[in-house]
Amino acid sequence: MDSPVDLGAVQALSPLLVSDFAVGEHVDWPLLSRLWGTGFPSDYVAFMSAYGAGGISDAFEVLRPDESFTGDSDGMAAETANARAMWPSASRPVEGFSAPKSPVIAWGVTAGADVVCWLTGNESPDRWPVVVVSRDGFSRWESYECGMVEFLRRVFSGELEACPFSDATLWGTGEQKFVHWREERRLLESGVDPWTGEPDPLAGIGFD
C-alpha cells in the first residue's frame, strides 16, 4: 500500500453497511497490543468504535478482539491459530507466499469458512494487506493491498477483480446489514432471527 490507511475509510464504508445495532466495542487497546505483541490497524480500531464486532448479512463475522484467551472457538485467537496452521512452509510451498510461517492475524470469517486476515510483515499495522485463506486451506491464498475496511467496501461494491470468498452472498450486492454480536445473541435467545426479524425456526430445537 502506498500510504497509511485513512481513518475516513469507515465513513466511506458506512453507506454500504447500515445498522440499527452498531453500538461499538469497548476495547483496552494497550492491553490488546501487549497480548498480541503488536498494535492494530487504525481502520480496525475505528470500525470497532463505530460498529463493534458482529455479523454482516448472515454471511460474514467481524471478529471481536480477544483480551483474554478463553478458548472461544470463533474468536480472533482461535481463527488466527487456524490460519497460522495453514500458512505456507518449506514443506508446503504456495506460489506467491514463500516466507515460512509468516505471521497472520485473523479479523473475519465467512459463512463459507474462509478466514480473512492481516499479513503482519510490515512494522506499521496501517500498511498490513488483507489475506484470505479459503476453506480449501493453504493451497488457496489471495492477498489484497488495502486495509480491512476498504476491503469490505470493495467486496460489497464488487470493485475487486473477482469475489474473494467461497460464498458470493456479499459480492457486489451493495448495501449490507450489520448486527452487533450482543444484539445477535439477544435476538437468537429470544427466538428471533436477527436477519429476518421473524421467529427463528430453529429456536428451542436441541441438537446432539
Cβ–Cβ under 8 Å, residues 118 and 110:
no
- Return the sign of the alpha-carbon dihedral for residues 66, 69, 70, 74: positive
What percent of the chain shows pLDDT beyond 90? 49
Look up the pTM and report it. Answer: 0.83
* 182 vs 40: CA distance, rounded Å: 23
Q: pLDDT digit string (tens) for 44-101? A: 999 999 999 999 999 999 998 876 544 445 689 999 988 888 776 544 444 554 444 4
Q: What is the pLDDT of residue 62?
A: 96
- pLDDT band of residue 200 (cuts 50, 70, 90) is low
Q: What is the mean pLDDT of residues 109-122?
A: 92
Q: What is the pLDDT of residue 137?
A: 56
CB crowding 147-166: b at 16 or more within 10 Å, else e: bbbbbbbbbbbeeeeeebbe
- Sorted by where each starts, the structural domains of the chain and their CATH numbers stand as 9-189 (3.40.1580)
